[in-house]
Structure formats: structure tokens, C-alpha cells
Amino acid sequence: MNERSERALQRGYVLVEMLVSIAIIGALLGVLLQFAIAAQEAVTVQADVADLQQRLRVAAEALRHDLLAAGAGGVNGPLADAFAPILPARTGSAGADPELSAHADRISITYVPDTRSQTALTIGMGGPGAPLAIDPNAPGCPADGSCGFTRGDRALVFSAGAHDVFTVADVSGSSATISPAAALSHTYPAGSRVVGVVQRVYYLDRPGKRLMLYDGDRSDLPLVDHVVDLRFTYYVDPAADAVRPPPADGSSCAYAPGTPPVPLLDDLGGLAPTLVPPSRLTDGPVCGLSPHRFDADLLRVRRIGVTVRLETESAALRGSGPAFLTRGTSAGGAKYVPDLQVTFDVAPRNMPAFAGRGH
């Protein structure tokens, strides 16, 4: 009897104790869970935030690198004397925009890389699609009979206002000829310059939300995903005579004949590079020969403004409102990562500067 009551007492005491401890543990777990949920959300979001920043850096670095080089590596003078190294449109052998078009979210950049493939035509072409007979012994050419050109290279040929960028389809070292993959727009005469170039076309695939990079030939690939906006702005030298003047008494696409030659470009006033709307990059005066004509204002571009906007990969981290270009499902809280937008400027180092208004 005594033993039984003692056991009962003991059992009751254990039950109360258990309830108390369950209550305490429950309370503690509640607190713990709150920490855990917050930490878990933060950790999930951090991966996306880091990814967002990383993608921004990749996009900015790629664009900056190529814009800095635009027009570089001139042969017998800067590339800008032959054509516009920066164009606000898509160029290349596939899907090129028509000449004299301007798009805020597309840019074509051309420069001569560290190549020794710089030569000239020894005899005029037989026709627009004929092989180009090059001088394999031009100064600096490697001694391989074809001045270092190999199949698949992009090459630029230019002469007297006309130019073409083409892919080298075939090289013959024995006859010192290179064949273009497609017919050129002109039949180039002897003496035309032929140079290996790099062509880079950056554009926004708006439906696919991707920053695309096209090499002018066949490689047309996404560079960065979840890019929702891309804009290029152009700052030009405001002086009318900021483009290389023709020889005395001569004329060019930017100068009418006269002594001295009369600039055709508008004087935009001031000295600092001036922001121009895309319409000004297509309204003339026009340089080059069809089908590769371009606006003379592009020859006085001194600075490019680039605006890139990226969003998080996961729609769960995107909400609604001005911070998001594409609506997501986030209701706020920790899972809320606004679009990342930056604007940066690049002053291409190889766009030749001619002093304006000093004449």
C-alpha cells in the first residue's frame, strides 16, 4: 500500500515534470525556428544575390574590354579612317541590320587584334566573290605564304570609302590568295588593304532576357542570362571639324570642298562630349559606300554610356513595382531582391581625336 502510493506519487511527479519540460522545449523551439527560418531565407537569397552581382561583373567587363579596344590597331592610320569602328546596329554575315539604322540596345565593335595579318591586294579582284590575291611578303607578314590568314578568320578589306568585313573560307599559300565565304559588296582594286579583325556584336535578346554576343560569322551565343535591359548612349565631340579633315582643297563625307574644306557636321556647341539621340546617328552626313554606309557622327564618338539591368534568376525573389522589370512572386520580406542596374562609361582609346575649332 505504502509502496503503491509512493509509486503513484512518483509517476505523477514525472508527468508534471514532462509537461513542464515539453512547454519549455516548445517555447525554445519556437524561438529557434524563427531564427532558423530567417537564416535559411537569407542563405537562399545570398546565392542569388552573389550570382546577380557576378553576372553584372561579367557583362560589364566584356563590354568594357571590347569598347576600350574599338578602332584599335590601325594600319596606315586609324581604323576610323576606313569606317566606323562602333555602330549602333548589328553587323555581320547573318541577320545584319540595314545600313544607317540605329538601335539603343545593339552595338557592333570592330578592332584589329594583336595580329600580323596586315597586307594589301596585289592585283584587283576578278569579281565581288573572287579570291583576294594578297601580298604575302608585306612588312610584318609571317612567312607562310598567306600572311598569317587561316580559314575562319574575320578579315577587313577597304579602299576609297568602301569596306567589307568577311570570313576567310579558304586560304591558298601557293597562290597567296584568300577566298571570302560570301561575295563582297564591291570588287576591290589592287592596293586595297586587307587586315585580320575582331568583330563583336553585343545585343539584347529581349524576349529571352539574355545579353548576346555575336562574332559576325557563325557564333551567336548568350553571354549573360537574365539581362532585362541594355542601352547604349553616344557622346560625340561637339565640334564640326572633329573628324579627320581631307587634304587641302579636298573633300570627304564630313567635309564639302573648299579652302579650307567646309565641315558638314553640326557644331553642337561647347567642348565636352555631348549626348546625342540615336536619330542623330542615322541622319547624315553619310560616309562609306552602299551597302555599308554609316553616319559621319559615328566618327566623332568619344564616349559610350552603357546601362545594364539584371534581375535575379528566381522569380520567387522578384516582386512587383518599379524595382522589377519582370514581375515575380515575392511578397516582400527577406526574399526580395530588386533588379540591379548600373550605368558605366567607356572612352574608346582608339577613336582618333582631331582638335575642333582650333583651325
Partner 1 sequence: MDRRAAGFALVEVLMAACLVITVAVAVSQISAAAVRASYAARVRTLAAMLAAQKMEQLRSLRWSRTRIGTPAVTVPVSDVSTDLSSDPPTDAGPGLSPSPAGTLDSNVPFYVDYLDAGGTWVGHGATPPGAAVYVRRWAVQPLDSDPDDILVLQVIVTTTADAVAHQARFVSVLTRKP
Binding positions for partner 1, 297-356, rule CB under 8 A: 302-303, 340-347, 349, 352-356
Span interacting with partner 1, options 30-38, 98-106, 251-259, 282-290, rule CB under 8 A = 30-38
Interface with partner 1, residue 107, by CB under 8 A:
no
Q: Which is nearer to partner 1, 47 or 182 (CB)?
A: 47
The nearest distance, CB 131 to partner 1, in angstroms, is: 38
Interface with partner 1, residue 123, by CB under 8 A:
no
Binding-site member from 8, 24, 94, 182 for partner 1 (CB under 8 A): 24
The nearest distance, CB 111 to partner 1, in angstroms, is: 17
Residues in CB range of 50: below 8 A, 6 or more apart: none
Interface with partner 1, residue 136, by CB under 8 A:
no
Binding-site member from 19, 23, 42, 256 for partner 1 (CB under 8 A): 42
Span interacting with partner 1, options 32-40, 110-118, 119-127, 192-200, rule CB under 8 A = 32-40
Interface with partner 1, residue 112, by CB under 8 A:
no
- Give the Cα separation of 41 and 19 in Å (integer): 32
The nearest distance, CB 24 to partner 1, in angstroms, is: 7
Binding positions for partner 1, 180-239, rule CB under 8 A: 235, 237
Q: Which is nearer to partner 1, 253 or 308 (CB)?
A: 308
Binding-site member from 5, 10, 174, 219 for partner 1 (CB under 8 A): 10
Binding positions for partner 1, 248-307, rule CB under 8 A: 269-275, 302-303
Residues in CB range of 96: below 8 A, 6 or more apart: 89, 90
Interface with partner 1 (CB under 8 A): 10, 13-14, 17, 20-21, 24-25, 28, 31-32, 35-36, 38-39, 42-43, 46, 49-50, 53, 56-57, 60, 64, 235, 237, 269-275, 302-303, 340-347, 349, 352-356, 358-359
